[in-house]
Structure 1
């Protein structure tokens, strides 16, 4: 039997669960790997599939799919999910991950980690095992953790308890905190257990045994109680890392490994609302697991809570002002001012940007102060699509944030860049002074006029006041212009940008940079070209609410029995519109069962959704208002009377619609009007007028 790599195992799991052909780019995006890696591993996967009586089919422009009977596909999925790490062809990185997990206590409890176990489990020689352990020793030493060999030949790691837990958390985070948590919470007897095993793969499931024998449900209840005590909810993506860290804490405490010394100043803690939430979480843990948490562990929980982003909702009481909130507010003021100066526009008037940054920056400051790194799955895409804006934010953060808490890592910079990118998308279009340009061209008149027309079309603030051939230009007698765009180099007092007459992408970018420089000198508003240079093409082409919503996607005063029926009714509209497959609706319900109240994102408003690979065909949004509100399980935002069901296909194509929805959710009066709408026309009018 052919041995699969862990990556090939996950690729086949995605294709086996798909109902139709999947483009390889979509498979790559679902797994967070390059498309070329998918192509490479599919060659190995096709051989494995043949042994299961199945055939891998591919077609250019369509994608890949697995051909065979449904019974054979089900059987193959079960075999795929039951593969142990010892049955996989592990690359060096995966081998080191498994070895480190064993050293931290994964796998069979009480079983010593020695050369014999490593070579048997990983299918490697003593020499390879020795080489892997040398690499691990270097990795651990950088984290103040030592790897030593005992007299009996077994290996042992030793170091600060906080450091050991952080290493274990980083291992699990490789597969995504949300995926690992859902796998743990489902349990082996859940109908969805096989699905989660396939999502994680054998290596991910093996690493997850670091949390074996920890019942996750009490932690969910403890975190919900903590949210109630501080009258705010943890942002949905951030709550899963928090839950994993708490599960690690419980696992280690139950095994007798505790943190005694506080990691935070206890005098500072008393001033923070998060401290009360942490104390509530600690009480829930003590009561549920029958253990006592010393001051150091409670302090650690407080640090975890502080490092987790919270989201207050319209109508919710504001959290008390504290010293960290004040510091975050001052930094936001300076950061927005610095970025505005560098861009040549005033973002300080955007109250939504300030509010979002303030909520975002408080946990960022804690993470930076305690060197708590985070994984940003969007980092590469943000840096690729916002190259100019990323550099601007990076420079501003080095001036404003770094002197206070040290250098800001790229993962945090990418999140900050996304906030500023959203603000640029909201920025009003320019209505004031225009820039004047002279076009100097060495080609014929037709080429010159094409260049001038292209300039005015691409840069709406730019007026081409004259076109002159190169041979007749007198640089001492230029007209009154702000800029010269020339196809040949010129020496004059007015700024000159040399371009190709056809204006390729590189020349457009250079022009945008020059316009931005001119604006910084004396103008206060950005040109459309500058905003275009700072906003990614995916954002510029993302859909707005007016493009997504129509009469077939809204339903008014719908009677439902419970929350799940409400989700299914909203999902049914997406199916009828062709935006999703039917399985996407069940995936939304399954997500709600797993994350529960976290989809209730404002008072009386739920936003159910699932992953793109769960059956999303294109971006879609539906709205259902309920005849009678129903509870979704949220402590402060229940009952729900409005359900927005959403489907996305990537990270960017829906950003504009979400920005507009955020504006709606922040306006209690508009939300009230949405609830009171009695016809589809009235509902659409209220929603779309709220964002125009």
Structure 2
């Protein structure tokens, strides 16, 4: 009987065939939670039995595959063979149903969806229940009438918000322009179900409009002298294309008059009006002021990302956002009686989330949270904590924080608590020879006073050795009598566990965690972990992914310096180009076998470290580190001041080392979304 493996099970097995690993590492590589991995393992173990392979979990080693060599070869062959069945997740099917409802204004019968997706009408009905929840968050109604079918109704701005979110769920901004142009030429995105969703989305944009929009947009930008990053250009192009398509269908959008009046005072509104005039001439469509207002918001958002000073709105300093994130976590930690800042990742994640969120709030743009109802239902306590902490944002930035954003803050707090439970619940064995009653009393006191400990066993002195064999992951023995045990450490306490005992135990595990973090690697020369995190923030603050075209090294360097010359910290683009060129001439910078180049230099052209990723429209032949020629699809640009600190050198060095040590990093840099790239960089820099 053939083994039917899901996509994630296949990925798990490919990693395990390379050798034992932990659930944490599997979760990190596959972009899911540790709990999801642990939930998948029992089912996967059952499927492997038919191949004569067992899934083993051992303390200190992790998860491994055990079986005869021929069984392992058979598994390898099975994983190499493409899956015959094209899998479609409920989420993918629901997206395709939503797109069908957007494409067709009239009712659609359930049986037509059932036939299209090869499922039962009951399955389609369940999908529609879920779709109704999704649409309700946008204020859109799903109407179902027996004998007639299903269709949707809603305000134009809400339908636009839904379509826009679908685009950004499925596309990276930096890829959009190229994909839209391919669509213009009649091309399609190859692949399975995900590609089918993307092609249907692109189908919402009239191919005949794109070329004219690009022409008008480029003309207006050149006349104004403004510079737009590729990502901002893509976002604006998609917005205009969707807007014109909807306007052609008689669907218009409105904007709050007071907010529109403020937008009219900006130079960006003048550019939007000029662009609107060109579009009206090109397509014979009247463009209302509300549309111009939304175009203005795109331009203002782009200007903020470029770091320009906006007197009419405001600019967010990353240190200020990091400070706000720290205040929120301190406030939430006080209420939850937990030190959330011990989890370095939550500070990084929350700050990265808050910066664009606050820009949207200041611009009056809506924050959408599709998970809000689930968060409120599942984590009411965290919502309460996040709501109080969010008042700090309102006071500091003078913006109202909506419930949707409070939901996101609650998610970040919840993630820190979950990680904390996994990391801080240290397993211990209790030894209490004075009787069962006193042993249980001690266990009860520990559970109450030290909830961060997990009691693995309660035993007598005679049974301790056997218990430690049974629980090799125990981090300490807590005993009411002196013991001679080599490992793990023994913590001596009184049978009633007094306050001094509690403090001593806490101090022991706190010191242990600090040593573990030091062993994981602290950036040299930067001292405390918090200072190291600040350095990582500084380097990632202006990180950007850009697409460039180049036929040779000279053109590549010209394209790179053109993109970065206005970035904060770049003092001389010419000096940067000269130093990068000298470094490339002295030795090749392409990494053998990865299709990736690391252009790096210490240069007087920067006053602080700079990191950027530049993807090539067409592969470029470059010299690699072995002296051979390598086809390069992307360049990672790493710049340091002429006299960098030890910490700055260490952080950049970690990224270079990650290309060799992390087998997924190069692929993510070449093809991943901007979110995936940031997550991958944070993973190797944490």
Tell me the TM-score normalized by structure 2.
0.47
**Which has the bigger relative contact order, CA under 8 A and spacing at least 6?**
1
**TM-score (normalised: structure 1):** 0.47
